[in-house]
Amino acid sequence: MSKEQWRRNVTQLKPYIPGKAIEDVKRDFGLAEITRLASNENPLGPSPKAVSAMLRALLDSQLYPESTCRELREKLASLYEMDQDQFLIGNGADNVISLIGTAYINDGDEIIYCTPTFPAYRTITLLLGGMPIELPLTGNLTFDLDRILDSITDRTKLIFICNPNNPTGTIVEKGRLEAFLQQVPPQVIVVLDEAYVEFIELEGYLTGVDFVKKGYPVIFVRTFSKLYGLAGTRVGYCGASHELLEPILAVREPFAVNRIAAAGATAALDDEEYKITILQENKREMVRLAKELQELGYALSDSHANFLFVDMKEDVVNLSNTLMREGILIRPCIAWGLPNHARITIGTAEQNDRLLTALRKTIKTTS
């Protein structure tokens, strides 16, 4: 067996390295409890309404799911005042990003985005024989929209904008996105990855929903993994005009989303109160954690998500190994070429305290 048998483009890909699994850390270090602040999961878990809906759905497991997640699309349509045929549901946002790539990228097409960002855009581009055009973020770590505009050529097919950006948590300044969209040539499709968009609190900040309604050639991608606490069940979606969704529908597996996941996501949308609680808790703990980390001497950028991007001023692979022995997981940013940066998910008050205590201990032992 040699790599020559592989599909040629696959030899260029590196497998995604997820945060270390809680089960593995428990076993490797003999720990009973793990605080995972490495994967931007919701520390309070899913809404109880989502859980009961999933339990009910289990009883119908012998039945194939309704292929298009009609009920979920109806709920999304009413929530965002769009049409249900302007939504496509997939097995997580990651799956949706792959589907968008599969539907649109031809050999040699140029796909533009800034880095560091979410790695899925690069993976799907390379797989399909496209050419990733990777530009640096601006000095304040946001997508460099001017430079993206300058990089558009006749071969440009897609532009990915991760907003808020993972791993930096930053957003494009208010008003800038629409000015940008007005300058993008009409044959270029802009994909807004809005996995964390619900955490943005700026009054009047326009998102993919607004841009689709205004008729821009935009596809926005969202997920139930972050705000809604359903990362383990895998539901993501995209919204766009029906014309833009048509080729994506053609490549989507018929039963991409399982019955249990679809039921959970649908019920999660109904629990407005729970959503508000999550947002309030996240905000409160983010402000507190950011302040305490700054007091410990770390440098942070402004986050509009459920995580912080922190310059720890030391090698984070080392530091995260030290923390791991205490049962605390943070995400080193070395895979993005940033050895001193960490991405730290906002946990519960108790989890954040545990992190702060462990960090104070490492500072004491090194000084």
Structure tokens at 343: 């991405």
Min dist. Cβ of residue 163 to ligand PLP (A): 9
- Is 92 a binding residue for ligand PLP by CB under 6 A? The answer is yes
Query: Could you tell me if 348 and 44 are in contact, meaning their C-beta atoms sit under 8 angstroms apart?
Result: yes
As a whole number of angstroms, the distance between CA 85 and CA 348 comes to 37
In the list 126, 133, 195, 212, the residue contacting ligand PLP (rule: CB under 6 A) is 195
Q: Are 242 and 83 in contact (CB under 8 A)?
A: yes
Q: Which is nearer to ligand PLP, 164 or 358 (CB)?
A: 164
| Cα–Cα distance measured from residue 111 to residue 101, given in angstroms and rounded to the nearest whole number | 10
Cα 195 from Cα 23, distance rounded (Å): 26
Q: Single out the residue of 68, 225, 282, 320 in contact with ligand PLP (rule: CB under 6 A).
A: 225
Other CB atoms within a 10 A radius of the CB of residue 314 amount to: 15
Q: Where are the beta strands (DSSP E) in the chain?
A: 35-37, 87-90, 110-115, 131-136, 156-162, 189-193, 218-223, 236-239, 299-300, 307-311, 328-333, 338-345
- Establish if 98 lies at the interface with ligand PLP (CB under 6 A): no
**Window of 69-77, 86-94, 153-161, 206-214 that interacts with ligand PLP by CB under 6 A:** 86-94
Looking at beta carbons only, is 65 or 354 nearer to ligand PLP? 65
Site for ligand PLP in 99-118 (CB under 6 A): 118
Contact 351, 336 (CB under 8 A): no
323-326: long-range contacts at Cβ-Cβ below 8 A with a sequence spacing of 24 or more?
323/355, 323/358, 323/359, 323/362, 324/20, 324/25, 324/29, 325/29, 326/354, 326/358, 326/361
- Asked if 231 interacts with ligand PLP (CB under 6 A), we say yes
331 versus 354: smaller Cβ distance to ligand PLP: 331
Residues 302-331 interacting with ligand PLP (rule: CB under 6 A): none
**Residue, CB closest to ligand PLP:** 92
Establish if 166 lies at the interface with ligand PLP (CB under 6 A).
yes
142 in contact with ligand PLP (CB under 6 A): no
Report if residue 193 touches ligand PLP, rule: CB under 6 A. Answer: yes
Q: With contacts defined by CB under 6 A, name the span among 50-58, 65-73, 91-99, 122-130 that binds ligand PLP.
A: 91-99
Give me the residues that bind ligand PLP (CB under 6 A), please: 40, 92-94, 118, 162, 166, 193, 195, 223, 225, 231, 236
